[in-house]
Structure 1
């Protein structure tokens, strides 16, 4: 079934792209600029994704820690970045921090802003997954005198990972689409490139149709990758049933 759906998706995309090439005479003029924007979007999304995963795990472990200071620090991080606008956070990183002597490149500001923001949301997904692991699993590890780090990384997290995949997939797709905001810190991503090309060539339908297709393809890659990942980790779900 997945193979049929993938084939249909690839065929539909190929048809639309072929139609665009056949119908829109100026495609070759603005497409290179959109592809350059795509490279920037992929760079921001890829680096932000790594930071997003790291922050999610670190904050979730802090939120579930027995240490009060760690729980407090993780809670402050989650509430600040989840309770304020991503756009404002990008402005702070790129425009406000220089007022205090901290100057970040546009790419660094974009990756930090995206990664920290989505990490705050991901922390709650990971925390919920960790808490979903039956308490008996942990108690059995304690009875076997298993060290805490070993209990966490060999017993709890593998089972929690199987639970968190769908939620983290949704956040990853949202992260890809949210890269459109990085133009606020002067990066020329797909959306910014599309706006600029439209101002030059006035081909609104063609330019933004191609832009939409590019975002759609990126999100479908994430969705398909998550499906493969779910199949690989499905064996851990049996331990929770």
Structure 2
């Protein structure tokens, strides 16, 4: 009986890490989405300087490890006067990393909108930004959503790296239980199931967004 109660206590202790995992996921996804939209639009800008700056950011964060980015956010930024909490450092690293991948999704979706749609905006005498905001982006969003759903799940799984800077998320809690009890199977099976539940919720939300934004838009690439 005592062993059962102990197991339940450890199980609850592990699940308390789900709150930090959800926080990291939500805030990192919000940051990644904002950065991806801005950078993806910049990648289609007519200015060579703007495109070059956006491309530099994308290649830097795609070409370096998220581990290194996380450690830089937490351990290096204080040297230049920017001190972040473990959660803030995790959100910054995961958000900027995810934003670099998302930027390519945005760029490809914008370029996939049909030429006839752009020509129509010229005929209507819309400015470039009016055309982008009112015509191109609403159609491009439908194309972006499936890839953004996959990106959100990758960010959620990437939250495990935050355990390296002592964020008490799922993996950190499971490692703590393993070190105290010597049991590996149960803690990690539990966090696997928890990650799966969170991923399922994310994908259900993305599918809902796809249905909502897809109404009235058929074959946006045509």
TM-score (norm 1): 0.86
- Are the aligned partners of 2:121 and 2:131 in contact in 1 as well (CA < 8 Å)? yes
- Are the aligned partners of 2:171 and 2:191 in contact in 1 as well (CA < 8 Å)? yes
Equivalent residue, structure 1, for 2:151: 171
Distance 1:228 1:141 in 2: 29
Alignment of 1:12-27 (within 5 A): 26-27=6-7
Alignment of 1:1-241 (within 5 A): 26-235=6-215, 236-241=217-222
SS at match of 2:69: helix
Deviates more, 1:221-230 or 1:114-123: 221-230
SS at match of 2:125: coil
CA displacement, residues 85-130 of structure 1 (integer Å, 9 cap, x when unaligned): 0000011111112223322111111110000000000000110000
CA displacement, residues 25-81 of structure 1 (integer Å, 9 cap, x when unaligned): 643111222122111111111110100000000000110001122111111110110
- Are the aligned partners of 1:60 and 1:124 in contact in 2 as well (CA < 8 Å)? yes
- Are the aligned partners of 2:163 and 2:169 in contact in 1 as well (CA < 8 Å)? yes
Distance 1:101 1:151 in 2: 41
Distance 2:186 2:165 in 1: 26
TM-score (norm 2): 0.94
**Aligned alpha-carbon RMSD (Å):** 1.5
Shift in alpha-carbon separation, 1:143–1:39, aligned structure 2, 3 A: same
- Are the aligned partners of 1:27 and 1:206 in contact in 2 as well (CA < 8 Å)? no
- Are the aligned partners of 1:125 and 1:164 in contact in 2 as well (CA < 8 Å)? yes
Distance 2:219 2:105 in 1: 20
